[in-house]
Structure 1
Amino acid sequence: MRRVGVDVGGTKCLAVCVDGDLQVVAEARRPTPKGPEAIIDTIAELVGELAPFDSIGVGVPGLVTMDGTLRAAPNLVDIREFRVGALLTERLGVDVHVDNDATCAAVAEWKRGVARGSDDFVMVTLGTGIGGGVVAGGRLVRGANGFTGEIGHMVVDPGGPPCPCGRRGCWERYASGSGLGRLARDAAVAHRLARVVEIAGNVEDVRGEQLAVAAREGDLEALEVFDQFGRWVALGLVNLTNILDPGLLVLGGGLAASADLSSGPIRRWFAELLYAPELRPHPRLEFAEMGERAGAIGAALLPVVHSL
């Protein structure tokens, strides 16, 4: 059995072919082009490079309906009501399964990664924004419309900063990579984080990367911002736990690279904020292990998990 998965990102498209043991046996990549027709052409080219295959899945960023239509994608230009599944099925002559990219990453961790063997877990991808995937009772949760997992737009502060989605105080304004950068710049504007500003060159260029450098040097003000960031991450995780009661929480995305700085604060604040912590088992908190191929590997497995 050879299954092909394609992860369509804002800058690149990565395709992999996995065998019956879920091992990657081939891969190919291309820059992500602009416009729906060019994206379909690119996916078809990638899939052709990895032939022969028995099934195809595609992961895309944004709201994906049950029939594989991408309603909107913040990081893809001129994309609205993009019938990814139908267009690729017609083009390739094979039924193509489509889902959200963070959901695909969750599938990869479930079937091959840190969540293997878990029937109830939540995957949270912390990158420029926040995405997620939910498995409950041994099945991928898709919801009534296919939109389960848009957890970054859970409102945690109604009076908070504006989000590109048009609302205020979304979780990803605080707990994403861009959120970490904003927390750092706010601290720098308040005449803190002198070492971080020195590394960045000026306040406007302060980002999470410079904050991490200073924190690893032992800078107390930088570590304090990571503690603040950990509280915001934990707040969202607690809300998800109170609603879904998972046995495992998996953190992935680009911010997993700073796990050495964020793990301690996240775990500490989670234990403090969790409802009735003395009456319930705490879910395990683990960091994802599948890396940049997670979305493509999970996409390859969509035909399997969509049928469960």
Structure 2
Amino acid sequence: MATPRWHGALGVLAEMRRTPGVTRAAVAQRLGLSSGSATDITARLRELALLTETPAAATGRGRPTTVLGPHPDGPVVVAVDLRYEDWRCALAGLDGRPAVLEAAPHTSREPEQAVATIAAAVRRAHARLGDRVRAVAVAVAATVQDGRVVQASTLGWGRVDLTPLGLPGVPLRIDNDATLAGVAEARYGAGAGAGTALHVTVEVGVGGTLVVGGQPVRGATGAGGEFGHLPFGDHALRCPCGAKGCWDLTVDGRALARHLGEPPPSDPRTYALAVLGRTGHAARAAVDRAAGSLGTGIAGLVNALDPEVVTLGGLAAPLRTAANEAFTEAFTDGLMTFRRAAPPPLRTAALGDDAALHGAAATALDAVLTEESLTAWARLRGA
């Protein structure tokens, strides 16, 4: 239960975060607050530089209200997206909207160099904003166990220490990029409103997560959601992860190149996009095979996990669109009979390439919007 100091305040901030541009009147209605209580709470939060209020557009009915937004001098979080080909460093206020500060392709495949480069960007953000930076979160294209990278097979990395991306005295959250993308889609994107949402994304391989009540199902050690390493593929193929038969190898640019008899691409994502744009028979046949594998695998996940909705990120939606007949046939054939009359809707992810950044910002804000963290912020403000 919230202490009297924060009673109602955490709820107001959560609503501002959940619905950017929300009005004070709408927040009061959702939280069951009187107009006077909502006014008092938002006034206190303004004094603490936690939110700002601007006049809402006149509707001609009722008393004038205000739109709530993050305070320009308020807390911020740093969100990092460490991907196969590049990295991005962004800032987000209490509304969770990331704004990219720096981005660049990897200049080296050596993990120490990549980590050092990104850590310098995080430190530059901190030097600019000081104690306003209240948490750092990292989305990484890797298997993450207990907050540690244990394998990044697409990057060619084994165990990698990402703690240099943190800041002294500031919470650091590290998670798989597909997991965080799924969290963002479930909370704010194509899966919003569903209690149980399955997210499947295709980049270099397949990733995703099952999100229940806004939180990912992580498993015993946090390494859950490695859908691409389910044995849905060709068991004659050894995956870079070390296992045989991984689904990863049947749906992305590496699979398309193999079907076309072309060399393994150095950038499987860009290669896949190029193949999706081809019109020749061989390319169409390769895309059909990959789309069929995608449909079959998603059906298997639906049978096992029973989601209300499935969101498709990365190349999953373009692949489905490019070979819809092959995808739909495989998906339908893979469903248990009782599911076929009303399968969960398959929706294109709404947050696009920024989904993992949104998810990183969300998990960082989870660490900031607590009584303990807000009390520390209030002390910092002299309140």
Query: What is the one-letter code of the residue matched to 1:48?
Result: R
Deviation at 1:95, TM superposition (A): 1.2
The answer on 1:212 being equivalent to 2:288 is no
Contact 2:195 2:212 in 1 (8 A): yes
Change (3 A) 1:34 1:179: closer
Matches within 5 A, 1:90-239: 91-157=167-233, 159-185=235-261, 208-209=272-273, 211-215=275-279, 219=280, 222-239=283-300
Aligned residues, how many? 284
Whole-Å Cα distance in 1 between the matches of residues 282 and 255 of structure 2?
17
The answer on 1:252 being equivalent to 2:313 is yes
Change (3 A) 1:70 1:293: same
Percentage of identical aligned residues: 28
Whole-Å Cα distance in 2 between the matches of residues 166 and 48 of structure 1?
35
SS of aligned partner of 1:22 = coil
Whole-Å Cα distance in 2 between the matches of residues 111 and 138 of structure 1?
6
Contact 1:226 1:262 in 2 (8 A): yes
Contact 1:126 1:177 in 2 (8 A): no
Equivalence for 1:70: 149
Query: How high is the TM-score relative to the length of structure 2?
Result: 0.66
Whole-Å Cα distance in 2 between the matches of residues 75 and 205 of structure 1?
13
Contact 2:200 2:208 in 1 (8 A): yes
Equivalence for 1:287: 348
Equivalence for 2:162: 84
From 80, 91, 110, give the equivalent of 1:6. Answer: 80
* CA distances 1:33-88 after superposition (whole Å, capped 9, x unpaired): 4545434432332223433422210011222122x2111222446x4433324x44
Contact 1:122 1:246 in 2 (8 A): yes
Change (3 A) 1:75 1:229: closer
Change (3 A) 1:279 1:223: closer
Query: What is the one-letter code of the residue matched to 1:20?
Result: L
SS of aligned partner of 1:301 = helix
- Bigger shift: 276-285 or 50-59? 276-285
Which stretches in structure 2 are left out of the alignment for 5+ residues?
A: 1-74, 266-270, 371-383
Equivalence for 1:192: none
Whole-Å Cα distance in 2 between the matches of residues 212 and 76 of structure 1?
23
Contact 1:160 1:168 in 2 (8 A): yes
Whole-Å Cα distance in 2 between the matches of residues 69 and 205 of structure 1?
29
Whole-Å Cα distance in 1 between the matches of residues 165 and 98 of structure 2?
22
Change (3 A) 1:82 1:209: closer
Whole-Å Cα distance in 1 between the matches of residues 301 and 99 of structure 2?
36
Change (3 A) 1:293 1:138: closer
Contact 2:195 2:213 in 1 (8 A): yes
The answer on 1:18 being equivalent to 2:92 is yes
Whole-Å Cα distance in 2 between the matches of residues 144 and 2 of structure 1?
31
Equivalence for 2:358: 297
Query: What is the one-letter code of the residue matched to 1:150?
Result: E
Which stretches in structure 1 are left out of the alignment for 5+ residues?
A: 186-202
Whole-Å Cα distance in 2 between the matches of residues 106 and 71 of structure 1?
20
Contact 2:291 2:319 in 1 (8 A): no
SS of aligned partner of 1:166 = coil
Change (3 A) 1:36 1:164: closer
Matches within 5 A, 1:24-63: 24-32=98-106, 33-50=108-125, 51=129, 52-63=132-143
Whole-Å Cα distance in 2 between the matches of residues 169 and 231 of structure 1?
16
Contact 2:79 2:90 in 1 (8 A): yes
Query: How high is the TM-score relative to the length of structure 1?
Result: 0.80
The answer on 1:267 being equivalent to 2:328 is yes
Change (3 A) 1:20 1:170: same
> Pairwise CA RMSD of aligned residues?
2.9
SS of aligned partner of 1:152 = helix
Contact 1:16 1:297 in 2 (8 A): no
* CA distances 1:92-135 after superposition (whole Å, capped 9, x unpaired): 33110000111122122223321222221121121221111221
SS of aligned partner of 1:114 = coil
Indicate the structure (1 or 2) with the bigger Cα radius of gyration.
2
SS of aligned partner of 2:246 = coil
Higher relative contact order (CA 8 A, sep 6+): 1
- Bigger shift: 100-109 or 29-38? 29-38
Whole-Å Cα distance in 2 between the matches of residues 229 and 88 of structure 1?
36
Query: What is the one-letter code of the residue matched to 2:162?
Result: V
Whole-Å Cα distance in 2 between the matches of residues 236 and 214 of structure 1?
24
- Bigger shift: 284-293 or 30-39? 30-39
